[in-house]
Amino acid sequence: MKPRVIFTVVFFALGLIIAAVPQSRTMQYRVGADDMLEDLHGKSQFISPDEVAAFLVEDNPVIRLIDLRSPEEYQAFHLPGAVNLPMTDLLNSDYRYLVDQDMMLNVFYSNGSVKANEAWMITSQLGYRNNYVLEGGLNYWAEVIMNPERPSSTSPDEEIARYNFRMGASKALGGDAGAETAPADVEAPLPAITKRPAKKRASGGC
């Protein structure tokens, strides 16, 4: 699909999401569509599975994983320490303290990226801060963290180190990918975690 077509679809979906947010919730914190589209184009809302795995392996308390799936799906499987906030309850005032704060780094996730992206767009539209999206969702997480593909022995050291990290993370987080050994004795440092400054609330409104 051509980039222009993709952006048209995303922009149209963004308009529908903005229209669906109750007016009383958007009057104070409305975010311009141009600003949000710029964020979408730059993919600044995404946090990679490697970064999330590093947070979990380090037991870093700054991260909070928010599972947007149904309670039944959450009970069947969820990422370690994740809280369940079904998409249908996203705008429930009882849970605003979760998605509108300046202390934690929230990471929305579902099976893929679509639902989490919708949650990010809605909370951004409301001016809520520090919300991000797990890149690829649980499907991509299972592929790259829990069952990483073994590189060849001639692969670059960076690729081998990334594989070794993912193997170690898989073991630490309950996966069964540890049956294979790393192809070379390359140190597996934790991936660099991008420092994300707290976003300011959008100004203006009616």
Q: Using one digit for the tens of pLDDT, what is the confidence trace for 142-165?
A: 999 999 999 998 999 999 999 999
Question: 169 lies in a domain?
Answer: no
DSSP single-letter state for residue 85: -
Question: 57 lies in a domain?
Answer: yes
Question: 185 lies in a domain?
Answer: no
**C-alpha distances in Å from residue 96, one per residue of 26, 101, 105, 195:** 14, 8, 15, 24
Give burial (CB, 10 Å; 0-12/13-18/19+) of 160.
buried
Question: 171 lies in a domain?
Answer: no
- 104-116: b or e for each residue (b if 16 or more CB lie within 10 Å)? ebbbbbbbebebb
Contact 93, 99 (CB under 8 A): no
The residue to which tokens 């979990």 are assigned:
56
**d(C-alpha 1, C-alpha 17), whole Å:** 22
Question: 152 lies in a domain?
Answer: no
In terms of residue numbers, what domain contains 75? 3-140
Question: 190 lies in a domain?
Answer: no
pLDDT at 41: 63
**d(C-alpha 47, C-alpha 194), whole Å:** 9
How many domains does one find in the chain? 1
Is pLDDT above 50 for 180?
yes
Reported as a single tens digit per residue, the pLDDT across 89-99 is 999 999 999 99
Reported as a single tens digit per residue, the pLDDT across 2-48 is 444 444 444 445 444 444 444 444 434 556 656 666 666 667 899 99
Question: 84 lies in a domain?
Answer: yes
**d(C-alpha 94, C-alpha 195), whole Å:** 29
Tell me the CATH number at 114: 3.40.250.10
Is pLDDT above 90 for 114?
yes
Crossing angle (nearest 10°) for helices 3-20 and 114-125: 60
pLDDT at 32: 61
Question: 34 lies in a domain?
Answer: yes
**Nearest in space to 149 (alpha carbons), one of 138, 137, 134, 164:** 164
Q: Are strands 63-67 and 46-47 parallel, antiparallel or unpaired?
A: unpaired
- Cα-only R_g, the chain: 18
